[in-house]
Structure 1
Amino acid sequence: MCRDCCCGSPKVTGVDHAAQTARLRETVPVRISDCLDVCDQANVVVVQPSAAGRAAGGRPVWLGLVNDSDATEDIVAWVRAGGPGVAPRPGILDLYAFTPSRRRTP
């Protein structure tokens, strides 16, 4: 979960960032990251597959614009169901999924 210059900051208005982080932590371990360099997608949550999900071919799923409690609850439900590689991603989360750029900074 990105929580740096844009994500998790007052730049994204109308979001209780602390409550969002706490809600996700109720379900899964949450790793807070410095800037993931996709500020135009703030708030960003990257859902990592579990060991079973990785064994089944699951890959990390990047979700952007996670700026309301409904989106957070959709993520929680998917993770509880098994997440990437185990449970199909709910269609509603397709609206948030994106592929980050592979650009490298000098």
Structure 2
Amino acid sequence: MAHVTVCRGCCCGTVKKHPEYDHDEQLRRLEAVAERSGGRVRVRTADCLDACENSNIVVVKPPGAKPVWLGLVLHDAVMDDLEQWLTTGGPLPAKLELNRVTPPAQSD
């Protein structure tokens, strides 16, 4: 199962930083993918993933692989690519590689 975490705190998911983007629609699109997946995709939200400089942040944890952090998920074309990847599986598509960001440092 692929786990998708969508940041919705602070800068991600608010009209404060990105008033031109429909954050609710983004979440609806991802939830629709999860619904159609037959249990292969699970979507949840997080209050803050501490990567505000790259908002909107979406983290995808594919089965058996490390999480992929995607930033600047603010355009329908990026969402189209993300939906396709979640639907078909496989490795990270080259188009989405452009949105890949380094996760924030974890404190011990």
Task: Return the offset for 1:97.
Answer: 0.4
Q: Secondary structure at the match of 1:47?
A: strand
**Aligned-pair identity (%):** 42
Q: 2:47 aligns with which of 34, 41, 46?
A: 34
Normalising by structure 1, we get a TM-score of 0.83
Structure 1 unmatched runs, 5+: none
**Any idea what the Cα deviations from partners look like across 1:6-27, whole Å, max 9, x if unmatched?**
0000111311000010001111
Structure 1 runs (4+) greater than 4 angstroms displaced? none
The answer to which structure, 1 or 2, has the higher relative contact order (CA under 8 A, 6+ apart) is 2
Match among 30, 43, 48 for residue 24 of structure 1? 30
> How much does 1:90 deviate?
1.0
More strand by share: 2
Residue aligning to 2:73: 66
C-alpha RMSD over aligned residues? 1.4
* Cα distance in structure 2, aligned partners of 1:69 and 1:13: 15
Which amino acid is 1:78 matched to? Answer: W
Q: Secondary structure, in 3 states, of the residue corresponding to 1:88?
A: coil
Match of 1:3 among 5, 8, 11: 8
Q: Aligned partners of 1:98 and 1:40: how far apart in 2? A: 10
Structure-2-length-normalised TM-score: 0.82
